[in-house]
Amino acid sequence: MDSFSTLIRTASHEQHVEAETSTFMSDLLGGRLGVAAYARYTEQLWFVYEALEAAAGRLASDPVAGPFIRPELMRLSSLERDLAHLRGPGWRTGLAALPATEEYAARVRECAERWPAGYVAHHYTRYLGDLSGGQIIRDKAERTWGFAKKGDGVRFYVFESIPNPAAFKREYRELLDGIRADDLEKLRVVAECKRAFALNTAVFRALGEEFPLSA
Ligand code: HEM
């Protein structure tokens, strides 16, 4: 068997392309959407990271998920600053999850509660993605909507405590390779990763329906 980090990357490759080239993402990266669409997307991320990070404290001592829980990854407070910038101080009042987002967050919570290795699949899918393609999104968002470079509005994409993302990702892949799971469990984690991608794509689809291109 390939190393687990290779396996999970290769197995999710096709879905990665699908997520990356989804109508919503293409329109966002193509600079064709207004800031309202970006704000709505950021709002959806809040629900996902709330689910991921509410469980982090408890999972930190878990033998399987524990090694992945790193304070420098935590995104919720950055998301909250972005939302305060995008929506104003009352951002919390209007916060609303799309049904697809609710489904995604519920699955994260379920894994966090019952299946730490499944939680790792969700952790990988989001955080390694944010450290990678997230940087492309940040750059585009800064240019399209005029946010200050690495400032309010795009703090979600700025990992202040990870000065060298490439090195961090290498270490992360080593953690994946050392995951305390047998081969069958690893395959289940890969399947959960695919599910995580599908849950992301469903959110993009819903966002695409909410923000069809008028032009
Ligand atoms: C337009 C959107 C996206 C772009 C441009 C993008 C781009 C990239 C790039 C360039 C990498 C390679 C980084 C490297 O080799 O170090 C990467 C990796 C990754 N992306 Fe994305 N991505 C996007 C969306 C997503 C989404 C929606 C997800 C899932 C929620 C995701 C999850 C991942 C993961 C997990 C990796 C790490 C793969 C690995 O090395 O194991 N990406 N992305």
Q: What does the DSSP assignment read for 4-48?
A: HHHHHHHHTHHHHHHHHTSHHHHHHHTT-S-HHHHHHHHHHHHHH
Model confidence at 58: pLDDT above 90: yes
Atom index in ligand 1 nearest the CA of residue 19 equals 27
pLDDT for res 153: 98
CA of 122 from ligand 1 middle (Å) equals 13
Per-residue pLDDT averaged across 61-87, rounded? 98
pLDDT for res 213: 80
The answer, yes or no, to whether any atom of ligand 1 lies below 6 A from the CB of 19, is: yes
**Coil vs helix vs strand at 98:** coil
pLDDT for res 32: 95
Q: What is the 3-state secondary structure (H, E, C) of 160-186?
A: CCCCCHHHHHHHHHHHHHCCCCCHHHH
Band of residue 215 on the pLDDT scale cut at 50, 70, 90: very low
C-beta of residue 177 within 8 angstroms of C-beta of residue 4: yes
Model confidence at 62: pLDDT above 70: yes
Query: Cα(67)–Cα(20) distance, rounded to whole angstroms?
Result: 28
Query: What is the CA 38 to chain-centroid distance, rounded?
Result: 15
Query: What is the CA 100 to chain-centroid distance, rounded?
Result: 14
Reported as a single tens digit per residue, the pLDDT across 16-25 is: 999 999 999 9
Atom index in ligand 1 nearest the CA of residue 25 equals 1
The answer, yes or no, to whether any atom of ligand 1 lies below 6 A from the CB of 10, is: no
pLDDT for res 6: 98
Over pLDDT 70: what percentage of the chain? Answer: 99
All domains in the chain, ordered by first residue: 4-210 (1.20.910.10)
The answer, yes or no, to whether any atom of ligand 1 lies below 6 A from the CB of 200, is: yes
How does the average pLDDT of the chain come out, rounded? 96
C-beta of residue 97 within 8 angstroms of C-beta of residue 105: yes
Per-residue pLDDT averaged across 71-76, rounded? 98
Per-residue pLDDT averaged across 37-51, rounded? 98
- Best of 14, 16, 25, 122 to mutate for ligand 1, by most ligand atoms within 8 A of CB? 16
Model confidence at 1: pLDDT above 90: no
> For ligand 1, atom 16, which residue shows the shortest CA distance?
132
Query: What is the CA 183 to chain-centroid distance, rounded?
Result: 26
Per-residue pLDDT averaged across 82-105, rounded? 97
> For ligand 1, atom 27, which residue shows the shortest CA distance?
19
Please name the residues in contact with 130: beta carbons below 8 A apart, sequence gap of 6 or more: 75, 156, 157, 159
C-beta of residue 104 within 8 angstroms of C-beta of residue 205: no
Band of residue 2 on the pLDDT scale cut at 50, 70, 90: confident
CA of 134 from ligand 1 middle (Å) equals 7
Helical pair 116-123 and 99-114, crossing angle rounded to 10 deg: 130
Reported as a single tens digit per residue, the pLDDT across 121-150 is: 999 999 999 999 999 999 999 999 999 999
pLDDT for res 95: 96
> For ligand 1, atom 14, which residue shows the shortest CA distance?
132
